């Protein structure tokens, strides 16, 4: 995972920096967007990798996908051990298991909106700018849906140390990186990046409703007490858009809000 960097991490500076990064993206790029609901885990990862390949020949264009998963799926980070997950139990319960091309930790993809995009880095735009700027798009979108308390994570943990010390960190949603979206100290959006030369691939999950916490059921090698500890960690450190707003928000409504925000700030190419 490529981690965003910022020297001054006060809330005002972080939000201002993210919105400034968004403006720089809007000045340098157009976007092409497609919605692909209900793809399998294998299809979704193949499509994301293909997106990165297409971006190599798409100068000045951000190629964006908004998608969901059918069946539900566990995705592992690029360097995560497959033995972290009970593969046999997943197979028996109809849960897909795939490996993402990016880093980070496991995600149980259930009731969520997943986004991905690929682009060439150009004109002095860095992957840090992109990370901040796209999360600004997501923040503006979820606020338009009523999540006024959502904001950017301010701190940046030492992930290497965090991952080595605690089995509870199996889940992507057990900890937050700077610029990821949170509300009330709980994680709403988790994202990761990978660079292929000058091409950047980024994707992430926006939790819409319950289901993500089921990752604990498929955590291999834990006793019952450890599994419950893990489940409690995920429940207490993550939050859904429906919980924040107090109403059910589905994929289509959330996708429309993101589309509206993209159209507001970036020229859309068909």
Residue 184 lies in a domain: yes
Within the chain, what is the greatest distance between any pair of CA atoms? 53
Please say if the pLDDT value at position 6 is more than 90.
no
Residue 6 lies in a domain: no
Residue 221 lies in a domain: yes
Tell me how many domains the chain contains: 1
HSE (CB half, 13 Å, CA atoms) of 33? 18
Tokens 């497959």 found at: 82
Q: What is the pLDDT of residue 18?
A: 95
Residue 108 lies in a domain: yes
CA distances from 202 to 45, 66, 101, 142 (A): 12, 12, 10, 19
Q: What is the pLDDT of residue 8?
A: 44
Residue 1 lies in a domain: no
In this prediction, residues 29-46 reach a mean pLDDT of 97
Lowest-pLDDT range of 14-18, 143-147, 220-224: 220-224
From 39, 73, 90, 172, active-site residue: 172
In this prediction, residues 187-201 reach a mean pLDDT of 97
Q: Is 172 a catalytic residue?
A: yes
Please say if the pLDDT value at position 11 is more than 60.
no
pTM over 0.75: yes
Digit-coded pLDDT (tens) for 47-76: 999 999 999 999 999 999 999 999 999 999
Residue 2 lies in a domain: no
What is the CATH number for 254?
A: 3.30.930.10
Query: 73 near 129, Cβ under 8 Å?
Result: no
Containing structural domain, residue 87: 11-268
Q: What is the pLDDT of residue 223?
A: 87
Residue 123 lies in a domain: yes
């Amino acid at each position: 995972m490529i981690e965003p960097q910022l020297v001054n991490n006060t809330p005002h500076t972080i939000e201002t920096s993210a919105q400034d990064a968004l403006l720089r993206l809007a000045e340098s790029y157009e976007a092409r967007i497609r919605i692909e609901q209900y793809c399998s885990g294998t299809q979704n990862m193949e499509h994301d990798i293909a997106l990165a390949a297409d971006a190599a020949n798409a100068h000045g264009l951000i190629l964006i996908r908004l998608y969901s998963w059918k069946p539900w799926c566990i995705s592992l980070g690029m360097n995560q051990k497959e033995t972290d997950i009970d593969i046999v139990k997943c197979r028996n319960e109809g849960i897909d298991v795939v490996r993402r091309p990016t880093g980070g930790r496991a995600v149980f993809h259930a009731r969520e909106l997943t986004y991905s995009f690929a682009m060439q880095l150009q004109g002095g735009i860095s992957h840090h700018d992109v990370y901040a700027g796209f999360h600004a798009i997501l923040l503006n979108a979820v606020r338009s849906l009523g999540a006024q308390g959502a904001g950017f994570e301010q701190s940046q943990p030492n992930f290497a140390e965090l991952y080595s010390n605690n089995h509870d960190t199996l889940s992507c949603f057990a900890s937050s990186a700077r610029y990821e979206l949170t509300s009330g100290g709980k994680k709403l959006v988790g994202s990761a990046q990978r660079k292929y030369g000058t091409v950047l691939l980024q994707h992430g999950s926006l939790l819409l409703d319950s289901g993500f916490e089921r990752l604990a059921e498929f955590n291999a090698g834990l006793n019952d007490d450890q599994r419950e500890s893990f489940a409690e960690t995920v429940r207490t450190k993550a939050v859904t858009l429906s919980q924040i707003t107090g109403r059910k928000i589905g994929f289509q409504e959330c996708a429309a809000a993101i589309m509206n925000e993209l159209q507001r700030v970036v020229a859309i190419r068909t």
